[in-house]
Structure 1
Amino acid sequence: MKRRLFLTAIPAALAAGCGFKLRRLEGIPFATLYVDAPAGAVVAQRIRNILSNDKSIRLTGTAGEAEAVLHLDQEVRSKTILSLSGAGRVTEYRLGLKLTYSVSGSEGRVWAAAETIELIRDMTYDDAQVLAKGAEEQLLYRDMEDNAALRILRRMQGITFGKGS
C-alpha cells in the first residue's frame, strides 16, 4: 500500500518541482471592461464567468464606466450534413460556430479591429443513439464556445494602448 502511494506521489512531486502552473489570464491591459453583446449570447456569458474569477479586471454595467468595451456580434450556430450512408441516412454532421468581435476604448477608439472566429467540429451520427448524440452535439458546441471565449481573451491580452493589436 505504501509503495502504491509512493508511486502515485512521484508524478505530482515532479510536476510541482518543475514550476508547472496552469495558464492564467494575466496581462489584460485595462482594469474595467464592459461586454456589449446581444441577449442570449453564450460566448459573452462564458467571458463574464471567466473574468468574474479574475481579481485584476472588473466588469461594469455600462460602457461609460469601463476603460474598454468588448463588442460581440450575434453568434451563429450551424449544422450541416457531412456524409450519408448507402441507405440515405446521415452518418456525419459538421457543426459550426461563427462570431465577430472587436475591442474599443470607452471613447470609441478601436483597439482591436473586428475579427471573425469560425470554429468547426465534425461529429459521427447514429440513429440508434439519438440521446447520446444529442448530448455529444451540445458538448461540442460548449467546447467551441469556450474555445472562442479564450481566443478573445488571449487577443485582449495582446492589446497595447494607443494601437490596434
Structure 2
Amino acid sequence: MSTTQSERLRGLLEPLVSAKDLDLEEIEVSRAGRRRVLRIVVDSDEGVDLDECAELSRSISEKLDETDAMGEDEYQLEVTSPGAERPLTEPRHYLRAVGRLARIHLREGDEVVARILTVDDGGLDLEVPGVKGRKPTARRVEFAQIAKARVEIEFSRKDKKEEEA
C-alpha cells in the first residue's frame, strides 16, 4: 500500500502538534523555484500566536532533520495559522467561528451569508441579517447541506470585550 508524502508527514508531525495542544489542519508541499516549501497550518480553540508557531517550527525542523521525510533536496518550512478568511471544513472549525459571519455555499446552489450562533453534531443555527431595515431571521443548516463555507472578514464588527462592556 502506497502512502503519499503528505500522509507520511502527517503521521510524523501530528504527535508533535498534538503535544502542543494544537490541531494539524493542513500540510502542503509546493515548489518555489528550485526549492520546495513545506507549509504546515495549525490551529486551536484559542487560536495560535506567533510564539507558538516559532516554537513548533523549531520542533518540526528538528524532527525532519532526524528523518528523510523531505528527502535530500532543500526546502523551506512555514508554520502558520489558518488566517482570517479560513475555510470551514470540520465541525471544530464551525465551533471556533461561533459569533462570526460566514459565507456558506449550499449543495443546492444557494449562498447564505449569516452569523453562526450555535453548532451541534448535525449542523448550524444561523442569524441571517435583515435587508433594508428588516429584522434578522433564524435559519438552520445541516452539515450535509454545505458544499463549502468560509469566515467573512468584518471591519466594523465589535470585539467580544466591547460587547460585554
TM-score of the superposed pair, with normalisation by structure 2? 0.23
Greater RCO, CA 8 A, separation 6+: 1
Structure with bigger gyration radius: 1
Larger fraction in helix? 1
